[in-house]
């Protein structure tokens, strides 16, 4: 006889359905807004150049949100489907952090946030460089987005039983009761704030899955109005 574990299959099916329904909902919101503004343009607003420009910029913002969402969904499903294969090597951390910072430089400047790389020049970790940069980018991006004017984001490294890469900010912080669910797909503390910032709600889920693939984990400590620190823990290079 052949036995199938139906409970596991049923559970996976439920998770898949919930995910599909969240994705549809997330795509629907910007799409509804795009359709509404196109309609407004068609029914007369085109004749007013100033409103036209404003509506086009809203349409662009929503379209790029959908674009970002689809990219993140593809990335997450590839990781979860076991289709992402890491190529870990010895990586010099400081230059990688510099690259992630410069990619977000315009955003940080626009919001008046200072981002500093405090990783010592000799620090190295064992990781897939491209994936690690993606994790750092997601965390630094959040540190910039959920900050206050003249806020500060710092990236540090500590070596203990595992390598620790810490991304900490002195921004708005996260109330304790949200922390447990923070890494779930589409979980946000403040949905409308996340959308205003162009967020997809998938950034932390991607960080979590990528650190797990590295045999590590990501943790968070936060205090409202004081700030938040995310720590990526990575195993040392096997000898």
**Binding residues for ligand ADP, per CB under 6 A?**
138, 142-143, 146, 169, 171-172, 174, 182, 188-190, 194, 199-205, 228
Report the residue number, 88 or 171, with the smaller CB distance to ligand ADP: 171
Is 41 or 220 the residue whose CB approaches ligand ADP more closely?
A: 220
CA distance 124 to 108: 26
Cβ distance to ligand ADP smaller for residue 55 or 69: 69
Please identify, using beta-carbon distances, which residue of 181 and 236 lies nearer to ligand ADP.
181
Q: How far is the CB of 139 from ligand ADP (least distance, A)?
A: 7
CB of 130 to ligand ADP, least distance (A): 19
Q: Percent helix, strand, coil in the chain (nearest 5)?
A: 55, 20, 30
Maximum pairwise Cα distance, the chain: 73
Least distance (Å) between residue 68 CB and ligand ADP? 9
Cα distance between residue 166 and residue 177, in whole Å: 22
Q: Which of 106, 215, 238, 96 is nearest to 167 (CA)?
A: 96
Half-sphere exposure of 159 (CA within 13 A, CB side): 10
CA-closest candidate to residue 77, choices 209, 227, 238: 209
Cβ-based nearer residue to ligand ADP, 117 or 228: 228
CB 234 within 8 A of CB 214: yes
Least CB distance from residue 44 to ligand ADP, whole Å? 35
Q: How far is the CB of 200 from ligand ADP (least distance, A)?
A: 5
């Amino acid at each position: 006889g052949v036995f199938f574990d139906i409970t596991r299959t049923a559970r996976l099916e439920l998770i898949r359905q919930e995910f599909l329904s969240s994705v549809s909902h997330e795509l629907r919101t910007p799409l509804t807004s795009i359709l509404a503004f196109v309609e407004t343009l068609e029914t007369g607003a085109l004749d007013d150049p100033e409103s036209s420009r404003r509506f086009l910029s809203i349409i662009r913002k929503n379209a790029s949100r959908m674009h970002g969402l689809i990219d993140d969904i593809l990335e997450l499903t590839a990781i979860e489907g076991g289709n992402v294969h890491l190529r870990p090597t010895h990586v010099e951390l400081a230059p990688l952090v510099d690259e992630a910072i410069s990619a977000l430089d315009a955003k940080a400047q626009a919001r008046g946030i200072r981002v500093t790389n405090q990783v010592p020049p000799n620090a190295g970790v064992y990781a897939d460089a491209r994936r690690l940069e993606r994790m750092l980018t997601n965390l630094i991006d959040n540190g910039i987005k959920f900050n206050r004017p003249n806020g500060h984001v710092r990236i540090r490294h500590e070596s203990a039983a595992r390598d620790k890469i810490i991304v900490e900010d002195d921004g708005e912080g996260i109330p304790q009761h949200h922390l447990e669910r923070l890494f779930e797909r589409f979980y946000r503390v403040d949905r409308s704030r996340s959308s205003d910032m162009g967020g997809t709600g998938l950034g932390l889920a991607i960080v979590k899955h990528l650190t797990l693939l590295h045999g590590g984990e990501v943790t968070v400590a936060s205090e409202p109005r004081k700030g938040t620190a995310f720590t990526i823990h990575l195993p040392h290079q096997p000898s």
